[in-house]
Structure 1
Amino acid sequence: MAELQPDGTAGEQKYAAIAAAAAETLVGLDFDGTLSPIVEDPASARIHPDAAEVLIALASRVKALAIVTGRPAGQVVELGGLDAIADALGELGKELYVFGQYGNERWSGADRVVVGPPPPEGLAAFEAALPAVLSAHGAQDAYIEEKGLAVGVHTRRFPDPDGLAARLLPPLTELAGEHGLVIEPGKQVIEVRAPGMHKGHAISTLVEEVSPGAILFGGDDLGDVEAFEAVRAWGKATGSPTVLVYSHAGPDRGPLAGLADVEVAGPDGVLELLRELTDEARQG
């Protein structure tokens, strides 16, 4: 099985409780770094080639399946081939939920329409001022990802992407603050968006709508911290089983290492774990 963190026995016990309660379990997953490998160009990201088969098999054994991502909901539906997965889930009598832009947008297999608010005030002015700030710090060639409700500044194409991201963080934080926006740092990306919405809110919405008896959530980066915290708080408040899965690829210990119950090696490891869960739920 996957490596268990931080205490192998505790993580194994939590996973066993989820497997036993699979029929009442909500499975929530991040997209980039969890279901899709991290790539240099975010526009070229695609869901893992085995993901559709694994997710459809899993959906037949759990209560609900959701993808909670920082990407726009419509974009992740396209990159993930989620319409086809939603069709297959519909045949099983299940629904696929997608929460995009940290919960600001949502889409479901039932209505196939992205619902979300208008762009935040200040975003257009931030974007207008952004090139000058990037140029002043030698990052004029950074890839700018426009998300409609947010803007991502990617440094993956540079020789020292982590170092450049660290240098850009203070000036971009200052610029965002001037326009009433907040910063969400990630792996070689700095995202600027409206305050007040994060993945923890998406978890709370799912709990209200799905009424699960257990939750498994998997993520890979800072944007998933609030989701991890929301799942853990819900588990403590209700006494229900929870498992937090850290999709980790690379030598650095990321921000989720100290929060996770189970650690796996990137999207390959995530899908391996979900296969195991499906098999053990079937046998149970």
Structure 2
Amino acid sequence: MDFASARAEQKYAALAALASQAVVALDFDGTLSPIVEDPAQAHIHPDAGAVLTALAPKVKAIAVVTGRPARQVLALGGLEEVADALAATGTELLVYGQYGNEHWNSSHRAIVGPRPPVGLATFLRELPRILRKYDAADAYVEEKGLAVAVHTRRLADAQGAFERLLAPLRTAAEAHDLAVEPGKQVIEVRSPGMDKGLVVDKLVDTLGAKAILFAGDDLGDVEAFEALTAWENEGLSTLKVCSASSEESALTPLADVVVKGPDGVLELLRQLATDAG
């Protein structure tokens, strides 16, 4: 583990000591699952189930907080099977999909979420014209029900296309009262009013947590890191973990711990299971 400072190392030790009252919240893509060109192939790291099962008896709850639809991440992550293993330890698995607009838990196993935002259908009709205009007609468009994601990763000039599209997609989204969430060569347009920071607040409030760890890798996790900072100021023990890659560095200066991708995240969680008080 690469602690950002001696203070960060102290924060890890404090969280480990409070593990039984801690929530461990984890992004999916780039954190539990390696980044791949085809989002439909982003399966969870093969060691993740065993690591989470070993950690579960030591913590209050484990949550997966993702921009993906909850149903999709349950399938890609094999999370129902993980939930079965966690249930044997008495620990609940929580899944928040589409930045918290959808919720699933291992007790009730039903996905709860709102209707799609009103302006999304109109935005989708306009999208092909925008893609053609900005020389990105072959970008992969992923419809998520409550959101749409435009992936440029497969294009020859992936980063250039991302940069050309960001401003016009933001303008079109705002015209329909939609929010924009940029990521690693992907621009997601979705309903406003929910983000991963609000999910962090909900986890702390509803579970009565005294400590929380959040691990993420992308711009969509910034709000979660900011929420942890706010809770730290309220006296909670917190730990911000960056799953680092060569593609995105926005979280690195905000993190207490920087690890190398999903392998590093799971190594940290193994260590936490060992160190937990």
Q: TM-score, normalised by structure 2?
A: 0.98
User: Of 56, 79, 97, which aligns to 1:59?
Assistant: 56
Asked whether 1:257 is paired with 2:252, we answer yes
User: Of 6, 11, 36, which aligns to 1:14?
Assistant: 11
**Matches of residues 114-153 of structure 1 in structure 2 within 5 Å?**
114-153=111-150
SS in 2 for 1:60: helix
| Runs of 5+ consecutive residues of structure 1 not aligned to the other structure | none
- Offset from partner CA, 1:87-137 (integer Å, 9 cap, x none): 111111111000010010000001111100000011000001100110111
Counterparts of 1:155 and 1:253, CA distance in 2: 15
Tell me the CA shift for residue 159 of structure 1.
2.1
Asked whether 1:278 is paired with 2:273, we answer yes
Asked whether 1:172 is paired with 2:172, we answer no
Q: Could you tell me which residue of structure 1 aligns to residue 2 of structure 2?
A: 3
Q: Could you tell me which residue of structure 2 aligns to residue 34 of structure 1?
A: 31
Counterparts of 1:54 and 1:14, CA distance in 2: 21
Q: Which residue type is aligned with residue 263 of structure 1?
A: V
Counterparts of 1:173 and 1:126, CA distance in 2: 11
Q: Could you tell me which residue of structure 2 aligns to residue 245 of structure 1?
A: 241
SS in 1 for 2:58: coil
Counterparts of 1:224 and 1:141, CA distance in 2: 27
Tell me the CA shift for residue 253 of structure 1.
5.6
User: Of 159, 163, 168, which aligns to 1:162?
Assistant: 159
- Which consecutive aligned stretches of 4+ in structure 1 deviate over 3 angstroms post-superposition? none
SS in 2 for 1:183: strand
Tell me the CA shift for residue 241 of structure 1.
1.2
Counterparts of 2:208 and 2:158, CA distance in 1: 41
Counterparts of 1:243 and 1:267, CA distance in 2: 17
- Offset from partner CA, 1:214-248 (integer Å, 9 cap, x none): 111100011001111111111211x1211000000
> Between the two proteins, what is the percent identity of the paired residues?
59
Q: TM-score, normalised by structure 1?
A: 0.96
User: Of 95, 99, 103, which aligns to 2:96?
Assistant: 99
Aligned residues of 2:8 and 2:256 also touching (Cα < 8 A): yes
RMSD of aligned Cα (Å): 1.0
Tell me the CA shift for residue 160 of structure 1.
2.2
Q: Could you tell me which residue of structure 2 aligns to residue 229 of structure 1?
A: 226
User: Of 173, 179, 186, which aligns to 2:183?
Assistant: 186
Q: Could you tell me which residue of structure 2 aligns to residue 71 of structure 1?
A: 68
Matched positions, count: 277
Q: Could you tell me which residue of structure 2 aligns to residue 219 of structure 1?
A: 216
Counterparts of 1:85 and 1:22, CA distance in 2: 20
Aligned residues of 2:217 and 2:248 also touching (Cα < 8 A): no
Asked whether 1:266 is paired with 2:261, we answer yes
SS in 1 for 2:252: coil
Counterparts of 2:209 and 2:85, CA distance in 1: 21
